[in-house]
Amino acid sequence: MTDLSRFPITKKWPAQHPDRLQLYSLPTPNGVKVSIALEELGLPYEPHLVSFQTDDQLTPEFLSLNPNNKIPAIIDPDGPGGQPLPLFESGAILVYLAEKTGRLIPQDPARRYETLQWVMFQMGGIGPMFGQVGFFHKFAGKDYEDKRPRDRYLNESKRLLGVLEQRMTGRDWIMGDEYTIADIAIWPWVNNLVGFYGAGELVGFSEFKEVQRVLASFLARDAVKRGLNIPARSAA
């Protein structure tokens, strides 16, 4: 049996199945990227809820795995060379899982890099911008009288949705007919923008017909339905 005891995080979240990939996460847009990918790939894994309500992400145990105190993070007991691999940053984890399995990423080098550019598009643009819109529309920022900060992020989010709208015209997925980690990176954030943040009307989401179409296809996938609720919040 694999021994993960050298990882301090396992003291707070003991591994019941140490031979499985260990996922430390919360069902946020970044967190569900990894649970969805794992569900799509059918890899055996053990999820652990990292509760923000109790500041789990700030505990020494979690920081020992991710010093940036963000979810998700993983330990793969069967990493490169058969050795356990700790890893954080959702984009890096998506790339790792795709390359580990040879799935959800094109094998052709040119298309592989094209896929990665769209993962980076989400990491550097959609995630930060949509997140700021959420802050100014749903959370404390909504009470600011000066709407210029909100509008800065709002206008950029609309622009990014326009980029997606153009990309998705005539395509089933980001890479055409091939479903990839680029889709798994992007669509949870689009879903969160119009769902949890409730900013659909604010960003004029009804204007983005192609984005709506592909988002609906994404949410209809069985693995996505499961992954959006892993780890279960009720476990906290």
* pLDDT over threshold 70, residue 1: no
* pLDDT over threshold 60, residue 181: yes
Rounded mean pLDDT of 116-144? 96
**Contacts for 44 with CB less than 8 Å, ≥ 6 apart:** 17, 19, 20, 21
* pLDDT over threshold 90, residue 136: yes
In the prediction, which pLDDT does 233 show? 82
In the prediction, which pLDDT does 81 show? 95
Phi, psi at 190, each rounded to 5°: -65, -45
What confidence tier does 2 reach under pLDDT thresholds 50, 70, 90? confident
The C-alpha atoms of residue 38 and residue 74 are separated, in whole angstroms, by 11
Rounded mean pLDDT of 68-93? 97
> Which DSSP letter does residue 22 get?
E
What confidence tier does 234 reach under pLDDT thresholds 50, 70, 90? low
Count Cβ atoms below 10 Å from residue 198 Cβ, excluding itself. 12
In order of start, what are the domains of the chain with their CATH numbers? Answer: 9-103+224-235 (3.40.30.10), 109-222 (1.20.1050.10)
Locus of tokens 């694999």: 2
43 burial level (CB within 10 Å; 0-12, 13-18, 19+): middle
* pLDDT over threshold 60, residue 203: yes
Q: What is the pLDDT of residues 6-47, one digit of tens each?
A: 999 999 999 999 999 999 999 999 999 999 999 999 999 999
Pairing of strands 21-25, 45-49: parallel
* pTM for the full predicted model: 0.96
